[in-house]
Amino acid sequence: MIAALDIASVGSGSLVGFVLGLIGGGGSILAVPLLVYVVGVGSPHIAIGTSSVAVALSAFSNLVGHARVGNVRWPCALVFSAAGIAGAAVGSAIGKRFDGQKLLLLFGLLMIVIAVMMLVRKKGDGVAFQSLGRATARTLLPRLLGMGGLVGGLSGFFGIGGGFLIVPGLMGAARMPMIMAIGSSLVAVTAFGITTAVSYALSGLVDWRIAALFVAGGIAGGIGGTLLAHRLAAGKTLLTHVFAGIVALVGLYVVWRGYGAVFGGVAT
């Protein structure tokens, strides 16, 4: 039984790390369902706390890889992250007081919404990227601070890294090319994850053994994801659509399970 738990934890962590390295998000939004339904963590709040630790460390590992090849735009990423940290602290405090099963239900609905947003996103990303500086601060700062605070709040509330929201947020605010948004998003994913993880850890809502196994798998998976991201940087449309479909399916499953637990209409 212990061996099976270890394998499930490492395998789930590998998937999360791979997706984080590949598109900067997605892996984190899958972490909670994987911990609950694959690894078998009984408490949704412990799953959220554990996933926050694992995602933060896996994201940092992937950030190093993207930074080495110049995919991180630090000024935009740091401003976005600073605003998001405050939002994540508030969001996680609220999330811990929310009923765990209802939280999972809302989590599944968020996954479906994000999947739809990915599918309908317009082309032409990165046509006129604007780096944050004196000339662009008046325009970019309000966008980055506002979007960072909002995404951070959602990240903390649901216990996710927020990459699925950060990437389009950076692309929209600064017209950042996707590969740069992916690399830069990992700064915020790491920051949001750490903020949420500290909040849950102080409340005793982290399974450290599972988190360690999850991170070990995440580091290995992240190497493969980052390498593949560079090869597919010129055209990720098909990959994005396929992954959006996977997220939608997982979201529907989580909604189904959460709805049954909350309203008693479906077996859990």
What's the confidence (pLDDT) of residue 126? 44
* Confidence grade of residue 33 (pLDDT, cut at 50, 70, 90): confident
| Percent of the chain scoring above 90 in pLDDT | 21
3-state SS, residue 40: coil
The stretch 21-43 carries a mean pLDDT of 83
What's the confidence (pLDDT) of residue 2? 57
| Residue 226 burial (C-beta neighbours within 10 Å; 0-12, 13-18, 19+) | buried
Q: How far apart are CA 229 and CA 214, in angstroms?
A: 21
Q: Dump pLDDT digits (tens) for 110-153.
A: 878 878 887 876 655 445 676 777 788 888 899 899 998 988 88
What's the confidence (pLDDT) of residue 246? 75
What's the confidence (pLDDT) of residue 82? 92
Of 188, 29, 171, 27, give the one whose Cα is nearest residue 110: 29
What's the confidence (pLDDT) of residue 268? 45
Which of 44-53, 172-181, 197-206 is predicted with the least confidence, judged by mean pLDDT?
172-181
DSSP letters of 123-187?
Answer: S-TTTT----STTTHHHHHHHHHHHHHHHHHHHHHHT---HHHHHHHHHHHH---HHHHHHHHHH
Q: Dump pLDDT digits (tens) for 4-19.
A: 888 999 999 999 888 8
Q: Residues 149, 87: contact at Cβ < 8 Å?
A: yes
What's the confidence (pLDDT) of residue 161? 64
Q: Return the higher-pLDDT residue of 52 and 163.
A: 52
Assess whether pLDDT exceeds 60 at residue 267.
no
Assess whether pLDDT exceeds 60 at residue 236.
no
User: Does the pTM of the predicted model rise above 0.85?
Assistant: no
3-state SS, residue 83: helix
